[in-house]
């Protein structure tokens, strides 16, 4: 049923929230068009007399032998391997936990719920010491392997699979002679698509924004993701003779969030249906 009555207070609240989320983005877009002197002489939320967006973009891509492009590719690699792997593991694990009975399932449940409660930051230092022993620090593995674990994604897929896949569907597939793998990949996976996209978006954002873990794991700028690289550029201003490149930091930040915005816009449809799926008990 459609309710077309408008609530003024709710609209106002939604408006404030909208403003709150969009303002930093607007600021970023406006300031990415300013040259370094322009940043200092103009009002923060309006344009400067010089429009330097395209100069800024080309400087960003070329600065320091084009290291920004390298960081972008690194980040993409971490996302594909880390977030992609995490999603795959979460989907397979969630499906198995939802649809198969085995001893110790309750214990697994407790561990997963417990793991959701532990923030990744708290584990970063022990992980560093462990990886250091294994000789994996300062390699891409140090970022990818911890990213593969997403307890929240697993939990989400678990509940999602439980409700989205009727047991009858699996039984029908088995009766028709499909093996377990075939059942999973050909029958169940398409049904799980909205949930997969949701988990994929979550893990992608988490990997894309990952800062603390690479900060302590990586020393070689050649393996930096964008978050670390941008911070390194920002730090340059704080040293003798260092080149302050605030305009490039801002422009690079804008370029950094564009792929994420694109991912959200493209996958929005699936995501919304994923969020509401399972909210109504059939």
Binding residues (CB under 8 A) for another protein: these are 36-37, 39-41, 124-125, 128, 132, 135, 137-138, 211-212, 215-216, 219-221, 232, 235-244, 246
Q: Which of 158/224 has CB closer to another protein?
A: 224
- Name the token pair of 94: 């969630």
Cα(113)–Cα(155) distance, rounded to whole angstroms? 8
Cβ-based nearer residue to another protein, 109 or 211? 211
Nearer to another protein, 59 or 162 (CB): 59
The answer to whether 251 and 60 have CB atoms below 8 angstroms apart is yes
| Nearest residue (CB) to another protein, 235 versus 268 | 235
Least distance between another protein and beta carbon 140 (Å): 14
Could you tell me the smallest distance in angstroms from the CB atom of residue 64 to another protein?
A: 8
Question: Rounded to the nearest whole angstrom, what is the least distance from the CB of residue 42 to another protein in the complex?
Answer: 11
Cβ 227 to another protein shortest distance, Å: 11
Q: How many CB atoms lie within 10 A of CB 176?
A: 10
CB of 104 to another protein, least distance (A): 35
Provide the minimum distance between the beta carbon of 40 and another protein in the complex, in angstroms, as a whole number: 5
Residue closer to another protein (CB basis): 138 or 159: 138
Q: Which residues, in sequence order, are CB contacts of 89 under 8 Å at separation 6+?
A: 148, 149, 150, 154
Name the residue nearer to another protein (CB basis): 149 or 244.
Answer: 244
Nearest distance, CB of residue 221 and another protein, angstroms: 6
CB 198 within 8 A of CB 132: no
Smallest distance, another protein to C-beta of residue 124, A: 8
* Alpha carbon distance 31, 227 (integer Å): 19
Residue number with CB closer to another protein (63 or 270): 63
Nearer to another protein, 36 or 159 (CB): 36
Length of the chain (residues): 282
């Amino acid at each position: 049923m459609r309710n077309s009555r408008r609530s003024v207070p709710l609209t106002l609240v939604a408006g404030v929230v909208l403003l709150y989320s969009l303002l930093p983005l607007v600021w970023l877009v406006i300031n990415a068009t300013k040259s370094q002197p322009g940043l200092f002489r103009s009002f923060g939320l309006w344009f400067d007399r010089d429009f330097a967006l395209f100069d800024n973009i080309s400087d960003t891509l070329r600065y320091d032998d084009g290291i920004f492009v390298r960081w972008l590719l690194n980040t993409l690699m971490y996302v594909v391997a880390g977030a992609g792997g995490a999603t795959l593991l979460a989907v397979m694990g969630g499906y198995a936990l939802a649809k198969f009975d085995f001893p110790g399932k309750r214990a697994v449940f407790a561990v997963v719920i417990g793991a959701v409660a532990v923030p990744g930051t708290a584990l970063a230092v022990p992980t560093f010491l462990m990886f250091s022993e294994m000789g994996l620090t300062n390699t891409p593995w140090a970022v990818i392997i911890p990213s593969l674990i997403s307890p929240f994604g697993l939990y989400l897929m678990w509940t999602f699979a439980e409700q989205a896949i009727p047991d009858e569907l699996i039984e029908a597939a088995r009766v028709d002679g499909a093996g377990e793998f075939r059942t999973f990949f050909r029958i169940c996976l398409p049904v799980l698509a909205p949930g997969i996209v949701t988990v994929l978006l979550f893990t992608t954002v988490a990997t894309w924004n990952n800062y603390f873990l690479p900060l302590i794991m990586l020393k070689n700028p050649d393996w930096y993701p964008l978050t670390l690289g941008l911070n390194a550029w920002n730090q340059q201003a704080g040293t003798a003779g260092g080149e302050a490149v605030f305009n490039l930091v801002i422009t690079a930040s804008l370029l950094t969030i564009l792929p994420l915005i694109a991912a959200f816009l493209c996958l929005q449809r699936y995501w919304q249906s994923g969020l509401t799926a399972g909210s109504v008990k059939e």
